[in-house]
Amino acid sequence: MTIEQNIAELVQASNNLTGVVDGKVQEIDSNILELKTKADNFIDSARGEISHVLLSRNQIMEPTVNGDAIKGFSTIGLASFEVIKEATIHATESSDIDHTGHGYAADFRKNVHSGYVNGSFHLLRLKWTRGTTSHPARIDNNWNNGYQQGAMTSGCYLKILSGDISGGMQPIHEFGNDWHFYGMRQGVNSLNEAFRGEHSKLSLSSLPGGSGEMLICLFGTVSGVVNYEKKTWGLYPEFARISDV
């Protein structure tokens, strides 16, 4: 056997081995993908079997009669605050109510959600000026009321008209015409000590003395982990509390 034949056989053997390895790599990759798909499906199924209960108040966002607050919200750190009920979203688009004639209900339906709403909620326009202290101006200072602890998810739909916002909630989805879904999640911090919840979920103006204006709806915090990556945020059930009786 010549040296050339030996080299040729060696190359062929090497090619055969490479083919076997490539086949095993593809098999391993396929198995990993299959296992990942099964794990993702299990997580989605488990999330779907967990009820999410509203931990905050008034997710439909009913304002006070004189328009200086949102009922049940503890809004702090502002020098001025004006709340305008722009629209009520209910069932189908034909049932929506445009309270001011500004067309924000149609804007929301066109860009965020055009489907059926099982219930109703308000679309508010907030106008504010933050105070001059360094403490954050929170839209709802509810972190210490005994409910905002453990595994939970916060979210809302909003459209900033002027100014800026800050806090733990971050933009998750971008819709048309500057609409966004803002959200945040947290798990259990420790099994051996008290839980800690985010104090400033959504703050109005990042700097003291700042002012702004935005449209907002469905702000709230619910128990558990909501799969908002799939745009599932909506109305959640709220139980009556002793303090409400």
Rounded to whole angstroms, the Cα distance separating 151 from 15 reads 54
Burial profile 96-117: b = 16 or more Cβ within 10 angstroms, e = fewer: beeeeeeebbebbbeebbeeeb
Rounded to whole angstroms, the Cα distance separating 85 from 140 reads 18
pLDDT band at 106 (very low <50, low <70, confident <90, very high): very high
Percent of the chain residues past pLDDT 90, beyond the cut: 59
Rounded to whole angstroms, the Cα distance separating 135 from 132 reads 9
pLDDT for 241 equals 62
* Cross-strand pairs, 214: 126, 160
pLDDT band at 78 (very low <50, low <70, confident <90, very high): very high
State whether residue 232 is helix, strand or coil: coil
Alpha carbon distance, N-terminus to C-terminus of the chain? 99
Q: Is the pLDDT of residue 96 over 60?
A: yes
Summary mean pLDDT of the chain: 87
pTM, two decimals, is 0.80
What are 177-230's pLDDT values in tens digits? 999 999 999 877 666 666 667 789 999 999 999 999 999 999 999 988 888 888
Q: Tell which residue, 162, 170, 179, 234, has the closest CA to residue 202.
A: 170
Q: Which residues contact 174 (CB under 8 A, 6 or more apart)?
A: 180
pLDDT for 10 equals 66
State whether residue 111 is helix, strand or coil: helix
- Kindly report the number of other CB atoms within 10 A of residue 161's CB atom: 13
Q: Tell which residue, 81, 117, 74, 77, has the closest CA to residue 97.
A: 117
